Structure 1
Amino acid sequence: MLFAERHGKLGRNGSRAHDRAEDLLTSTAFQLLRYLPLEVGLLAVLRRMRAVGSDGHVATEAPAWLMLNTVTAADYTFWPRWAGFGEPDVVVTLSASGVTVGRLVIEVKLDAGKSGEAKEDTETADAPDPDQLRRYWQGLRTTSDAPALGVVYLTSHPIPPVDDLTVSVAREPGDWLGWLSWRTVWSVVRASELLPARDLADILAAKGLKCFDGFHSQPWILPHSPRRYWSAPSAIWFAQPVRVFPNSARFWTSLRGIS
């Protein structure tokens, strides 16, 4: 919440916190990731990202542009204002021994889809694209001399949002887009015993952004009783005394006076 507050995402008195759930989650999650060692935090999460091909197909491996083997530090910029290109959620600058490796955009979604829709191809090559993901990719390449690595689309979907991804890569084919689920983030941080990781795992679980991890209901225990669970009843119906009718010559007799 610290960075959401610093960037005015909550309103003056925090009254907009409910309406800005994505911004709160972005701030909280990446603030906690900053407190974790890179190898068990951000890098472990990014390695679980999946590449999006030029045809919108989502691969099972990370994008080729994700160069993490030599990374020793990461710097986070929250909601930078790029004139004409919008305000991406997080820009991460990766470096190795003080030398910049490159930058990437992480665009966070919770319940809503991406903003912007290109209806006609009337834009020039340098004009900001209506599609949000491609527009951030343009901004990443033009707002700094640092190498632009790619865009990470982080959503709550359990499976890739193929429609969103396909539309974006159709605007500019190439290897620049990756998809990541919040459930994958939960899986990564859940494996760590470090306190920031445990806090983040609890937050994501509370929001329903976790994978199935088994049943956790408590076993049902029968109340204590001094008697055995199975015991003989106090009375058995066929053990009761048999009722004997009065002695009679005939059990059934005709009624007198009835013809």
Structure 2
Amino acid sequence: MMNYRLALTFAAALAVASCSSSPDESRVPLTEAEAMYQQAQEQMATGSLTSARVTLEDFLTRYPFGPYAEQVQLDLIYLTYKLDDIQKALANIDRFLRLNPNHRDIDYVMYMRGMVNQRAEYSAIQELVGVDRSDRDPSFAKQAFEDFSNLLREFPESKYAADAKQRMVWLKSRLAQYELAVAQYYMKREAYLAAANRGRYVLEYFSNTPEVEAALAIMVESYDQMGLDDLREQARATLRKNYPNNRLANAN
């Protein structure tokens, strides 16, 4: 993940508050809020993310309108993401977007919304045992794609834009895989028109993904089963032009 800026505002304030203007002057003690925030930053730095979350949530309860409140909210977005608390992370993000629509870091918050939804798409257990996930509900993938699209539309020059674009490539492929899984389901049940329509959907909306080849093959087979020779040959011609080595490209 990206290198997250850990409370630069606080660091500057703390330097002023805790250090004297000359070595001979005594150190000014931290306020309770400063000490609490410093504790949370130390916990984050040492990897104690759960403890840092508790500290920051307590901080917001005590000081909801203090000078560090917005930065604490940003830190909590990051922490709930890292701790895989998807629902809480999304709630934190949506609250921040609603209350701070013109914040200087709004592009980061929008980016994190995509990151959270993409993480929700993953299933560590299924990946570890090699289970095919292509037929799973792609709701989180769709939302992540939309989140990253919103970021690119509103902040095309954001420092998070390049990474968002790369993530969208994977998400498009994931969504195309879902459409193929549904198409294959229809093929097994001899619902050939529905299968062909799913294949055509992949061509129309995910044309630059690796899944296009399989979508064209499904269309060729489906139209063949329905006796729609013209549509079959149109699909076959497109398959032959783009994937000449496919077994259906030159079949009789």
TM-score (norm. length: structure 1): 0.22
Determine which structure has greater relative contact order: mean sequence separation of CA pairs < 8 Å that are 6+ residues apart, divided by chain length. Answer: 1
TM-score, structure 2 normalization:
0.23
The structure with more strand, counted as a fraction of residues: 1
Compare the two structures and name the one with the higher helix fraction: 2
